[in-house]
Amino acid sequence: MSEFQNIGLIGRTESSSAVMSLTRLMAFLEKEGYAIVLEEETSTAVRHSARISPRDKLGELCDLVIVVGGDGSLLSAARALAKFSVPLLGINRGRLGFLTDITPDEVEQKVGEVLAGKYMAESRFLLDMSVSRNGSLVANGSALNDVVLHPGEFIRMIEFDLFIDGQFVYTQRSDGLIISTPTGSTAYALSGGGPIMHPKLDAIVLVPLNPHTLSSRPIVVEGSSEFELIIGEQNITKPYVTCDGHDQVITKPGDRIRIHKKPHRLTLIHPLEHNFYGICRSKLGWAGGA
C-alpha cells in the first residue's frame, strides 16, 4: 500500500491546459483508488464528486499535495502548506518549471512511480518577513524564493541600511535588494546578477538591484542569518516589499524590515531521475556534453 492515500490537488484554474492535466490526473487517481481532496478554488474548474477543502486546511487532510501549474502555483502552495509538513509534487503547466518537474505527457507514469514509493524527497527552507513601524508590527509574509525591497510604482533610487545578525553592513542607495533562498537563486536573483546556489545549501544570497556604486556585489551568508533593513528617512518615494512577488507591503521612512529563516521546512517530491544540473542545462540553455 502506498504511503500516500489522501491526495490533495491544486490547479492553475485560469489555464485551460492546466485544467486538462488536472482532469487527466484525477481520472488516473480515481482509477487507482486514491482519495482526492480538491482545493476550494480548484474545485470550481473541474467536474467532480471529490471532497473540497480550503487551501490552508489541505495540509491537515492530505498525505501528499500535487500542484498542476507553473512555479508560481507551487510557490503559492508552499507558502500556505509548509507549516503542515505535507510534501508537494509539481506537474509543469507553466514556463520554466524549475520546481514543477513532471511534464504533462508523463502524468500517469511519473505520478504512478511516486505513489509506488519511487521518488526522491528534497527539503527546502522558506523566509519569514515582517515590517515594523514605530515599534508596532504592520505586516508580515513568507517566501520560498525571495523577499524583495524595490521602488514600487516609481523608478527612483531608494536608500536603506542593512544589518546582518545585528552588525551594520552598509547604507545603500539602489533600486532595492533581493534576499533569496537557494530555491530562488534561479529566479529573480539570477536576473539581478546573483549566483546559482544548489538547493541543498544552507545559505542566503543578497543581490543589490542597480546599486549606485560599482563596488556593491551580491553577498552569500549562512542560512541562519537574521537581516534587518531600515528604510532611510530621506526617501521621497515609499519602497515596496514583496514575498515571491506577492504579499505586497508599502513601507514608510524609518520602517524596519526583518527577515529570517522560517522554522518550518518544505518537502518537495521529485521523480527518481531528477537532476538539478540537468534542469539547469534544460531551462537555462547550458550546453550539453557527451
The answer to whether residue 137 scores a pLDDT higher than 60 is: yes
Task: Express each pLDDT in 155-190 by its tens digit.
Answer: 789 999 999 999 999 999 999 999 999 999 999 999
Q: What is the mean pLDDT of the chain?
A: 93
Task: Express each pLDDT in 226-244 by its tens digit.
Answer: 999 999 998 878 899 999 9
Confidence of residue 290 (pLDDT cuts 50, 70, 90): low
pLDDT of 265 reads 94
pLDDT of 49 reads 85
pLDDT of 30 reads 94
Which residue in this structure is represented by grid cell 524564493?
A: 145
Task: Express each pLDDT in 99-124 by its tens digit.
Answer: 888 998 999 999 999 999 999 999 99
The answer to whether residue 48 scores a pLDDT higher than 90 is: no
Catalytic residues: 71
The answer to whether residue 191 scores a pLDDT higher than 70 is: yes
The answer to whether residue 263 scores a pLDDT higher than 70 is: yes
The domains located in the chain, with CATH, are: 6-119+271-284 (3.40.50.10330), 126-263 (2.60.200.30)
Instruction: Say which residue, 279 or 64, is predicted with more confidence.
Output: 64
Q: What percent of the chain is modeled with pLDDT above 90?
A: 79
pLDDT of 289 reads 58
- The Cα–Cα gap between 226 and 258 comes to 7
